[in-house]
Chain A
């Protein structure tokens, strides 16, 4: 490591730093991230001069520094493990997302009045406030985000629009993109007859 440490005298210009578009770290730190293989592939395409600077045989030799070969091997193994783990995690998250249920509840308020409660859209990265606004405009009615009895967020739309919403989801209209239609279930919530 360099030992020179000059005190800033005047106006010093900011240092130029190349950041990795995959892992966001400065390029020299990609090797410690969880996407090293992808980082290298990206850099090779994006900037071959920078790629050579970091990954040529020479560069790889000099970066070992005081770390023993054994320790370096261990590091590489750790990075590979980390990468595999990150990938598995991303896969699992996607799988979970794609199997996440959306419930449309048709709730009977009285003989002729219904409200429709939609739950589970947030799992598909849909902003509930935006979706509520979308429903309100689409059906020219009231729609708002509120908490259900379990304390989860849901969208409550005035009126009997359960089947219309299902159709919008199936077509992927507006903000309702990316929800597999098989995940959508319509349930009836009938008012209990007290007499």
Chain B
């Protein structure tokens, strides 16, 4: 979503949402992320107002004290920014890509199944299988920090078997045009 993003032309306005809206956003985050109210309070303290940054193509970004924390396309899932995910990597279930796939991801490509189910990749065990359309943190072989946020296109056990096709669609990745925006 942020392969090409120019703040000066792609942002149309910034407004604080009504407090009822902020409450429902908070609830959405608590239900969509693996996060406790205490941890969310660290990230977005109740006394801090959230700012809704309206962007092109029905993309909404939300900031606290200027720093982008999460974003949403239409009324889809609430994606954490990669910078936030790197600080709190356990808020999303994890998948991993092998070392060979890293440079493709950094070029803005979606992740193909073979990069996830090869020996260097990682998929959750069968008893923790993820349904299709799960928001995931994407880690990389041999690296400590997540490299992208995406959404699975197949159920994870199916993903394990697939020899081709897109396994995870990327929402934001290291080095995209959202990455340099530390403050808006």
Contacts and interface: CB of A to CB of B under 8 A. Distances in A.
B175 interface: yes
A123 to B, nearest CB: 17
B39 A15 contact: no
Contact of B86 (A11, A17, A66, A71): A17
Interface string A81-98: 000000000000000000
Contacts of A25: 174-175
B130 to A, nearest CB: 11
A2 to B, nearest CB: 9
Nearest to B94: A5
Contact of A15 (B42, B89, B118): B89
B139 to A, nearest CB: 7
Contact of B42 (A14, A28, A63): A14
A62 B87 contact: no
A11 B42 contact: yes
A36 interface: no
B90 interface: yes
B36 A32 contact: no
A6 B90 CA distance: 8
Interface secondary structure of B, over-half rule: loop
A8 B99 contact: no
Contact of B100 (A5, A17, A63, A67): A67
Contacts of A65: 98-99, 120, 141-142
Contacts of B94: 5
Contact of B36 (A11, A33, A63, A64): A11
A67 B142 CA distance: 10
B88 interface: yes
A6 B36 CA distance: 13
A8 B175 contact: no
A62 B144 CA distance: 13
B142 A62 contact: yes
A24 interface: yes
Contact of B90 (A8, A62, A71): A8
A44 B72 CA distance: 40
B99 A66 contact: yes
Contact of A71 (B91, B100, B119): B100
Contact of B103 (A6, A17, A28, A75): A75
Contacts of B179: 24
A66 B119 contact: yes
Contacts of B102: 32
A5 B93 contact: yes
Contact of A66 (B87, B98, B106, B128): B98
B88 A14 contact: yes
B153 to A, nearest CB: 21
Contact of A5 (B88, B124, B143, B147): B124
Interface of B: 34-36, 38-39, 42, 86-91, 93-94, 96, 98-100, 102-103, 106, 118-122, 124-125, 128, 139, 141-145, 147, 174-175, 179-180
21 contacts: A1-B96, A1-B141, A7-B34, A8-B35, A8-B36, A9-B36, A11-B36, A11-B39, A12-B36, A15-B87, A15-B145, A17-B87, A24-B179, A26-B86, A29-B145, A62-B142, A63-B99, A65-B120, A66-B118, A67-B100, A75-B100
Given A10-B39, A15-B88, A32-B103, 4 more contacts: A1-B121, A17-B145, A29-B174, A65-B120
